[in-house]
Structure 1
Amino acid sequence: MKKLGLATALLLAMTGAQAYQFEVQGQSEYIDTTVNDKDFTGGIQATVYLKDVDASKGPLAEAAFLNQASNVSLAYNYGEVGSNGVDIIAHNFGAKAEAYLPTKFVPVYASAAYSHTILDSKNQNRTDDNGDRYALEVGALATKNFLVAVGYTSVADQTALDAFNVMSNGVAKAVAEAATIGEDQDALTARTKYVGNIDGTNMAVGFETGIVYGDDTAYQLKTDLYLNPQLSVGASYAESSFDATPDSAWGANVNYFITPAIAVGASYVNANSKAANDTQTVGVNAKFRF
């Protein structure tokens, strides 16, 4: 009977579940730079929502945002990178909490995040390193499904990446963002996010903008077209004024929910630079909800 119960629960999760409280996401990226085409990263993120998330309305990919679902997440990224005789193993850990609080006027948003990066050199060309970063953010949903937020980020070491930025936007953009802020620096951030249905269809659109102001300035734009609740295609663009990172990067992605509980996706980023290495990344990802 126990085996039957477990099998039934798994079958429901894989076929028709329209509400979930846990999400596990995994991803991997292949990195091709001007001087090295053998780098790669891998990552995993686990999120628990304080209440069940209703996935029956709108794009499945944005169910948590549409439900204003408060949550706690843990993330881990692993990477093997190097060039010109330098070989580094990178470990990146992160913890994050997001809260949506109703008020008499508009829903209020707040988040807090911490990431820690460890660089383990495999030769004598560079010493081992590690660093921390902290981030706080507050905002509000000015109108339905439209979030405006501002924040403060403290990067104690330039090697400290945002573990959740790696998972959501890829390693190329996450590295450029950390370098733009600068070593042992504070930064101000601002972002917006909107998801809305297209009247008369089962399609929807999503837009995101973001800016980081530290030693230098970076901004990014993202848009997604949800052809139906299961399938989406998207494009992104990012730019940084820091000379030692790619000047600009554009990307494309596609994501598909095989069932309401299982999704797969792929991404591509092309980052061009005048002073640093050009970089291309190809990524794959998967999500499981239950």
Structure 2
Amino acid sequence: MKKTAIALAAIAAVGMGTASAQDYQMEAGVGYTHISPDVGSSDNAFDVDFTYYLDRVATANKPLAEAAFLSQASGITVGYANVDKADVDTIGISGEFYFDQLYIAAGYAAADFSGIDVDTLSARVGWMLQDGLRVAAGIDRVDVDVPGSSASNDIVLEGKYVADLGGGTAFNAEATITFLDQADDTVFAIGGDYYLNPALSFGAGLSFADDKKSDGTNWNLRARYFVTPVISVQAEYFTANDGDDDAFRLSAALRF
């Protein structure tokens, strides 16, 4: 179960010059994750995803990885992930929509954990306080198909800010607070990415629970580079449960 959790976290859920801007409307991605838990054998995960935007996404004068967010692009994403030895399959669909400053998002994911079905429904409502700054609140409803279990309704608060630092550099900051229903706990997550230029970024993330007895500290490091304006590669390292479990992920994406 530990290696399954870190795999899903890794999936959920990419000589350095700059890439020229090129607008796009679709993006397809593929990823591979190697999981090394403290207990049990290592495992491998594979994931694919596809996003269609309702309008073409403008990339000029923006970090390429943040173009959709900064353009307030509405779109729909579908994805599939498989964890080999743990025998976990997940399929999901989600959508993000902007109506001027109003932001609305929803998603559904169905996972099969070796015969145990887990369904997750999510919804968010947010507001663009200014260009590059969004706050949102919502709920994640998790239903585990086990006799005697009841659905968990977790409240989520989140924010995202992308700042233009000038000279082609930028910084992305994200934060999430999740109030867990059944665990009666609170999980905090923060992350950031520094863009050396529109094509190259380095980032890190950290998450931890208010009650340290119920969850350890999880963190990750990542780097993403656009080899061309439409092709990107990403490497990520994850560690969970206070460093007992870790994973390494490689992914690539194509825009068109």
Q: Which has the higher contact order (CA 8 A, sep 6+)?
A: 2
Do the two structures share a fold, i.e. TM-score over 0.5? yes
1:24 and 2:38 equivalent? no
State the shift of 1:66 in Å.
0.7
State the shift of 1:143 in Å.
1.5
Higher helix share: 1
CA distance in structure 2 between the partners assigned to 1:238 and 1:76 by the alignment: 24
CA distance in structure 1 between the partners assigned to 2:214 and 2:250 by the alignment: 24
State the shift of 1:37 in Å.
4.2
The counterpart of 1:208, out of the listed 174, 180, 184, is: 174
CA distance in structure 1 between the partners assigned to 2:20 and 2:207 by the alignment: 37
Unaligned runs of 5+ in 2: 1-18
SS in 2 for 1:186: strand
State the shift of 1:268 in Å.
0.5
CA distance in structure 1 between the partners assigned to 2:241 and 2:155 by the alignment: 25
Higher strand share: 2
Tell me the percent identity.
30
User: CA offsets, 1:257-286, max 9 Å, x none?
Assistant: 00110000100112234xxx9211111110
Give the corresponding residue for 2:12.
none
Unaligned runs of 5+ in 1: 1-14, 82-87, 121-127, 160-181
The counterpart of 1:138, out of the listed 120, 125, 128, is: 125
The counterpart of 2:195, out of the listed 222, 226, 241, is: 226
Whichever of the two has the greater Rg, that structure is: 1
SS in 2 for 1:156: strand
CA distance in structure 1 between the partners assigned to 2:150 and 2:210 by the alignment: 15
The counterpart of 1:42, out of the listed 46, 67, 72, is: 46
CA distance in structure 2 between the partners assigned to 1:219 and 1:27 by the alignment: 26
Give the number of equivalent residue pairs.
233
Runs of 4+ in 1 over 3 A off after TM superposition: 241-246
State the shift of 1:41 in Å.
1.1
Alignment of 1:1-290 (within 5 A): 18-81=22-85, 88-102=86-100, 107-120=101-114, 128-157=115-144, 184-199=151-166, 201-214=167-180, 215=183, 216-241=185-210, 246-273=215-242, 278-290=244-256
State the shift of 1:119 in Å.
2.1
State the shift of 1:98 in Å.
0.7
Contact 1:158 1:184 in 2 (8 A): no
Q: TM-score, structure 2 length as denominator?
A: 0.86
